């Protein structure tokens, strides 16, 4: 009203402690918070209680906005897929495009430790998933890949990307994520392989170097290369 100014309530009028300094709950806020917990602590640390803690509420509050933990994970998965970008088709270099976009997608999944596990066995129906599928299939079609092979390839590529991202998160959980820890771990494996009886394991003992060479990224890329090269054999 004219001439009046809004003034804060008197300091003795207590607010519910958890109402202080926080927004009302919503599905988006819950998913946002869950993504932060995931990124900071990994999927195993993600619990309804842990998310509620950051929101300064009780775990039961979340159930007014998400049906259950599985639904929360699905919403998180679609958030992640939304971060994946796929380029427009360049027919002459469809193979390179698939390799590049697969590696980029993998990078997005591994930015959120463990969430790839929640993405397995999901047939793409979320808006972001559909957009990703559409863009990838467009590249394949532009490259001359027969529809049947293109359709199955998309499925197999997604499976591979998610599996590798999930496996990387398992390594991280087991304390093998820093270069130093990974090296120490692999040194143990190398010593073990070299100590195997050569008569029982002649091939393994003679290729310890190749077996342990390279890091996760190189192996990831190699697998994508195999899939793409294999697919190319179906293109006339």
How crowded is residue 143: how many other Cβ atoms within 10 Å of its Cβ?
Answer: 21
Is-contact 62 30, C-beta < 8 A? yes
3-state SS assignment for residue 219: helix
Considering CB distances under 5 to 8 angstroms, the limit depending on partner class, which of a copy of itself, DNA, none binds residue 128?
A: none
Which region, judged by CB under 7 A, interacts with DNA, from 51-59, 80-88, 170-178, 224-232? 51-59
Considering CB distances under 5 to 8 angstroms, the limit depending on partner class, which of DNA, a copy of itself, none binds residue 192?
A: a copy of itself
How crowded is residue 134: how many other Cβ atoms within 10 Å of its Cβ?
Answer: 12
Phi-psi region of 113 (alpha: psi -120 to 50; beta: other; left: phi over 0): beta
Cβ proximity to DNA, 65 vs 172, nearer residue = 65
Identify the residue among 42, 59, 126, 216 touching DNA (CB under 7 A).
59
CB of 10 to DNA, least distance (A): 15
Closest CA to 114 of 166, 150, 68: 166
In Å, what is the CA distance from 175 to each residue of 28, 34, 188? 32, 23, 14
Q: Which residues bind a copy of itself (CB under 8 A)?
A: 120-121, 123, 125, 130, 133-134, 137-138, 141, 147-156, 159-160, 162-164, 166-167, 170-171, 174, 189, 192, 196, 200-204, 207, 209-214, 218-219, 222-223, 225-231, 233
């Amino acid at each position: 009203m004219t001439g009046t100014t809004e003034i804060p309530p008197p300091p003795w009028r207590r607010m519910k402690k958890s109402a202080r300094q926080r927004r009302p709950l919503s599905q988006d806020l819950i998913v946002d918070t869950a993504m932060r917990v995931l990124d900071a602590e990994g999927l195993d640390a993600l619990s309804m209680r842990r998310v509620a803690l950051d929101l300064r509420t009780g775990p039961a509050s979340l159930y007014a906005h998400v049906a259950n933990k599985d639904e929360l994970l699905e919403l998180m998965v679609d958030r992640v897929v939304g971060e994946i970008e796929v380029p427009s088709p360049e027919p002459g270099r469809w193979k390179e495009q698939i390799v590049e976009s697969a590696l980029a997608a993998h990078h997005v999944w591994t930015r959120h430790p463990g969430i790839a596990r929640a993405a397995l066995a999901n047939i793409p129906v979320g808006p972001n998933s559909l957009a990703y599928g559409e863009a990838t299939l467009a590249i394949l079609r532009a490259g001359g890949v027969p529809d049947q092979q293109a359709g199955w390839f998309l499925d197999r590529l997604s499976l591979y990307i998610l599996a590798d991202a999930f496996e990387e998160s398992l390594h991280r959980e087991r304390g093998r994520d820093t270069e130093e820890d990974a090296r120490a771990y692999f040194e143990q494996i190398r010593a073990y392989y070299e100590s195997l009886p050569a008569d029982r394991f002649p091939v393994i003992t003679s290729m310890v170097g190749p077996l342990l060479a390279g890091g996760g990224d190189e192996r990831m890329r190699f697998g994508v290369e195999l899939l793409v090269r294999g697919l190319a054999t179906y293109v006339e």
